[in-house]
């Protein structure tokens, strides 16, 4: 069984700490996505799991066995690189069977396994071509073929779709999802694209500056972000953050308001200690527009973008802050038109100001 366990894993280059202590458990068969802004250490973490990078401290277990000091080939992993990393002088067939050639597999075994991989990836007709004759999507397919042919316990994907154009990216995304269902293998996938993360993952790990910000299912992260960073990182357009004054607080709820927001009561989830400052997060999709005077959030429309399926309104609230609202229907606002917004307080998230603490600790 290919479970993975990372315990307080750290990585430093000299005095620079890149990974600052990651604890993570991954079950067999899970599709885990590492997501975060560039430089957050997600690729480094993946490369540490693969064995291409040393682990400075902490332990990494694969299938219950500590593999810190084992070379990549003894970890039972396969990896797909952003740049494909297929060998330019070999045919597709030779590329796909490379791992088997290295292991000294028989000709018959190679043929069978390559045929199977080619069938799964629908690239039988490409086997005798050279990489230079392939498109980007086909090359990535070859790289995936090379990974699956050895039947590894864990698949590692390092931004595999970043070099593809948008349409192809969607196709390959679905294909990777399908592959996960077919292969029943553990997959770890690094991306900076939140759509890939949301659509593919069983479990998302949000990283920032070498720390885990939150781990959870895509919907948990979307609906219950543990901190400002996760709240702002997932969802498009990003969540709006209002600086609010917390006037009252009891065990569960807090009363918040500011110049643009009439007092409302929201759950604080233990994230603020008492009256004072707070940040209220509201997703653009969770508001509706109403006549001025009948809503709780007051502002003016600066600009609207009508996309057909939805309308995005860029607003300035009465406290001077900017607010993005999206409405399902096609709405027309005049520039400078005053409108009020309503939202359900259960869908608003209250955070302490500047709170970025990792949820995993």
Partner 1 sequence: MSSKLTRSNKAGWLFAMPGFSLLFLFIIVPFFFAFYLSLTNQRLVSPNEAQFVGLENYRNLLSVAVVTLEPETDDAGQIVRDEDGEIEYPRVRTITRSDEFPQYRGMGEWFRWHWGDTAKVVIASDVLFMKALVNTLTFALFIVPLQGGGALLLALLINQKLRGINVFRTVYFMPVVISIVVISLLWRFIYSGNDGLLNNILEVLTLGAFTPIDWLGRTDTALGSIIAMSAWQGMGFHMVIWLAGLQAISPTLYEAAAIEGASKWQTFRYVTWPGLRNTAVLVLIVITMQSFAVFAQVDVMTNGGPLDSTQTLVFQTVERGYGKQDISGGATISVILFLMVLTISAVQGFLTRERK
Sites of contact with partner 1 (CB under 8 A): 50-52, 71-73, 77-79, 81, 83, 85-90, 98-99, 101-103, 146, 150
* C-beta of 104 vs 251, nearer to partner 1: 104
* C-beta of 99 vs 210, nearer to partner 1: 99
Q: How far is the CB of 79 from partner 1 (least distance, A)?
A: 5
* C-beta of 78 vs 206, nearer to partner 1: 78
User: Tokens 């050639």 identify what position?
Assistant: 101
Q: How far is the CB of 130 from partner 1 (least distance, A)?
A: 8
Q: How far is the CB of 73 from partner 1 (least distance, A)?
A: 3
d(CA 27, CA 70): 21
d(CA 351, CA 280): 6
Identify the DSSP state of 261: B
Question: Which strand ranges, in their side-by-side order, compose the sheet holding 65-66?
Answer: 16-26, 4-13, 57-62, 65-66
* C-beta of 103 vs 307, nearer to partner 1: 103
Q: How far is the CB of 112 from partner 1 (least distance, A)?
A: 18
* C-beta of 121 vs 359, nearer to partner 1: 121
* C-beta of 131 vs 284, nearer to partner 1: 131
* C-beta of 86 vs 313, nearer to partner 1: 86
CA angle 13, 62, 9 (to 5 degrees): 30
* C-beta of 73 vs 269, nearer to partner 1: 73
The DSSP line for 196-235 is: HHHHH-SEEEEEETTEEEEEE-HHHHHHS-SSHHHHHHSS
d(CA 233, CA 229): 6
Q: How far is the CB of 75 from partner 1 (least distance, A)?
A: 9
Q: How far is the CB of 49 from partner 1 (least distance, A)?
A: 11
Q: The tokens of 126 are what?
A: 């490409």
Alpha-carbon separation of residue 94 from 101, 119, 285 (angstroms)? 8, 16, 50
* C-beta of 73 vs 107, nearer to partner 1: 73
Number of Cα atoms under 13 Å in the Cβ half of residue 168:
13
How do strand 297-306 and strand 154-158 relate by DSSP bridges? unpaired
Q: Phi first, then psi: give them for residue 151, nearest 5 degrees.
A: 50, 60
Q: How far is the CB of 93 from partner 1 (least distance, A)?
A: 14
* C-beta of 71 vs 270, nearer to partner 1: 71
Q: How far is the CB of 87 from partner 1 (least distance, A)?
A: 6
ω into 205 cis (within 30 of 0): no
Q: How far is the CB of 201 from partner 1 (least distance, A)?
A: 23
User: Tokens 């702002």 identify what position?
Assistant: 232
d(CA 279, CA 256): 9
Q: Is 268 helix (H, G, I), strand (E, B) or coil?
A: coil
Inter-axis angle of helices 136-148 and 107-120, nearest 10? 130
d(CA 79, CA 143): 9
How do strand 240-249 and strand 264-267 relate by DSSP bridges? unpaired
Q: How far is the CB of 200 from partner 1 (least distance, A)?
A: 21
């Amino acid at each position: 069984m290919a479970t993975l366990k990372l315990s307080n894993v750290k990585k430093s280059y000299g005095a620079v700490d890149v990974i600052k202590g990651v604890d993570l458990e991954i079950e067999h068969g899970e599709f885990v996505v590492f997501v975060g802004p560039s430089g957050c250490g997600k690729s480094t973490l993946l490369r540490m799991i693969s064995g291409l990078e040393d682990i400075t401290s902490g332990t990494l277990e694969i299938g219950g066995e500590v593999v810190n000091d084992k070379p990549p080939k003894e970890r039972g992993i396969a990896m797909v690189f952003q740049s494909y990393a297929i060998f330019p002088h070999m045919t597709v067939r030779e590329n796909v069977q490379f791992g088997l050639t290295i292991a000294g597999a028989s000709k018959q075994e190679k043929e069978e396994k390559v045929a199977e991989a080619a069938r799964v990836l629908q690239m039988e007709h490409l086997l005798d071509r050279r990489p230079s004759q392939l498109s980007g999507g086909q090359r990535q397919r070859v790289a995936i073929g090379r990974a699956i042919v050895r039947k590894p316990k864990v698949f590692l994907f390092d931004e595999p779709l970043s070099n593809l154009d948008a349409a192809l990216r969607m196709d390959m995304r679905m294909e990777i999802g399908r592959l996960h269902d077919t292969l029943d293998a553990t997959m770890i996938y690094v991306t900076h694209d939140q759509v890939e993360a949301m659509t593919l993952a069983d479990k998302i790990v949000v990283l920032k500056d070498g720390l885990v910000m939150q781990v959870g299912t895509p919907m948990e992260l979307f609906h219950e972000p543990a901190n400002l960073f996760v709240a702002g990182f997932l969802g498009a357009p990003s969540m709006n953050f209002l600086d609010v004054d917390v006037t009252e607080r009891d065990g569960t709820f807090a009363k918040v308001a500011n110049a643009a927001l009439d007092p409302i009561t929201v759950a604080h989830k233990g994230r603020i200690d008492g009256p004072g400052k707070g940040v209220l997060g509201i997703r653009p999709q969770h508001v509706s527009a109403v006549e001025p005077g009948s809503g709780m959030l007051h502002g003016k429309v600066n600009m609207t973008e009508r996309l057909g399926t939805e309308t995005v309104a860029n607003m300035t609230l009465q406290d001077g802050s900017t607010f993005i609202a999206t409405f399902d229907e096609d709405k027309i606002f005049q520039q400078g038109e005053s409108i009020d917004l309503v939202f359900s307080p259960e869908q608003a998230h209250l955070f302490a100001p500047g709170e970025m603490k990792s949820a995993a600790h």
